[in-house]
Amino acid sequence: MGNEAIAEGALAAGCRFFAGYPITPASEISEVLSDRLPQVGGTFIQMEDEMASMGAIVGASIAGVKSMTATSGPGFSLMQENLGYACITETPCVVVNVMRGGSSTGLPTCPGQGDVMQARWGTHGDHPIIVLAVSTVADCFEITVRAFNLSEKYRIPVVILSDEVVSHTRETVILPSSQDIEIIDRMTPASPPEWYVPYKSDSTGIPNLAVFGEGYRYHVTGLFHDERGFPTQRSEEVKAFSNRLCRKLVQGIHEIQIAREFMMNDADVAIIAYGSVARSAKSAMNDARKKGQKVGLLQLITLFPFPESHVDNVLSQCSRVLVPEMNMGQIYGEVMKRVNRHEIDVEKYSRIDGQLITPDEIIHELIK
């Protein structure tokens, strides 16, 4: 099951701390890790709520442990303040949001994709963040490993967006051996504690991260801070800090932005999709091809930073693009920001009733 694969991917990536609170349709991630983490020397804690869960994984990560939490829409809303704290303190951690239908408590047992913009902008202020979307059970394992690697390398929270259909789909997958999995760990300082400058910038823009408590003591604050971690309101320091947070992602953009192309070589019509809808889109593409239509698919794995170059290539190649989503058009809006560069017809197809968009619905939109 997708949720089980996310848990196994976290373990394979080196996650050894999980704090969370049960919520449909994400609870199986907690259930699996409550059993598996102690077996590998890790720690599982069921917290009193999602706010505490997010705070706990931030603290565990600063103490040197790869950490994760998992939730769904209402819980993700509660996590936003501490997620912002992780962003400004550059604390690596992974947050899984298994999306469900509707706002508020909505449709707890039905799929949705309405949390896309919340994942990017849910916490206040300008902040960099990485958002990845999974589409298959195999993705759930592979992309979870990648999420931890990106989080550790760039010292940034990474959000994984799944949905009820992906997370509760069961299919046979062959997981790679541990020897075949690339694992990236955070860079730690080589200097002694008395020389350590916790937010010192270099050409990468990514400071080394000391394990708090292993001889290294430094100030951690949600306020804008200088290189030593102490609050500052000096304009030049605030500006340099903010620019560095963004620069480290810009420099790694080709590694961070991931998309998959299917039959795009000769496509004149393209579907841009993500999550469980990408599976329907792939089936629709195959059916359209059998009928002689040159349809291709761009499956977005990275939603933010938005993969502009991948989308631009599709827009420059095709005469028509369809963006199906289980929301009112959140990624469609991002695609439309690129349209002024190209003369192309871009259409959206939205479904917001808690039901999956089917291949037949996508085909109907393609031929109408």
What DSSP character marks residue 212?
Answer: B
User: Is residue 368 scored above 80 in pLDDT?
Assistant: no
What is the distance between the alpha carbons of residues 226 and 219, in angstroms, rounded to a whole number?
10
> Mind listing the pLDDT tens digit for each residue in 313-366?
999 999 999 999 999 999 999 999 999 766 799 999 999 999 999 999 999 999
Specify the DSSP element, H or E, that contains 160: strand 157-163
Cα distance between residue 278 and residue 61, in whole Å: 33
> Is 190:184 a contact under the CB 8 Å cutoff?
no
244-260 confidence digits (pLDDT tens): 999 999 999 999 999 99
pLDDT per residue as tens digits for the range 215-228: 998 999 999 999 99
Looking at the predicted structure, is the pLDDT value of residue 14 above 90?
A: yes
304 pLDDT more than 80: yes
Q: pLDDT digit string (tens) for 130-182?
A: 999 999 999 999 999 999 999 999 999 999 999 999 999 999 999 999 999 99
- As to burial, measured by CB atoms within 10 angstroms (0-12 exposed, 13-18 middle, 19+ buried), residue 212 is middle
Domains of the chain: 2-180 (3.40.50.970), 193-254 (no CATH), 259-367 (3.40.50.920)
Q: What is the CA radius of gyration of the chain?
A: 21
What average pLDDT does the segment 292-298 reach? 97
Tens digit of pLDDT for each residue in 42-67?
999 999 999 999 999 999 999 999 99
Would the pLDDT of 115 be above 90?
A: yes
Q: Which residue has the tokens 């509707």?
A: 102
Least confidently predicted of 73-77, 192-196, 201-205, 313-317: 201-205
Residue 312, pLDDT > 80, answer yes
Report pLDDT for 281: 98
- Count CB-CB contacts under 10 A for residue 82: 26
**Average per-residue pLDDT in the chain?**
96
Model pTM score? 0.97
pLDDT at 202 (0 to 100): 87
**Which residue from 105, 165, 137, 159 is spatially nearest to 326, judged by alpha carbons?**
165
Q: Which pLDDT score is estimated for 343? A: 78
- pLDDT score, position 201: 83
**320 Cβ contact partners less than 8 Å away, ≥ 6 residues apart:** 268, 269, 270, 344, 345, 346, 347
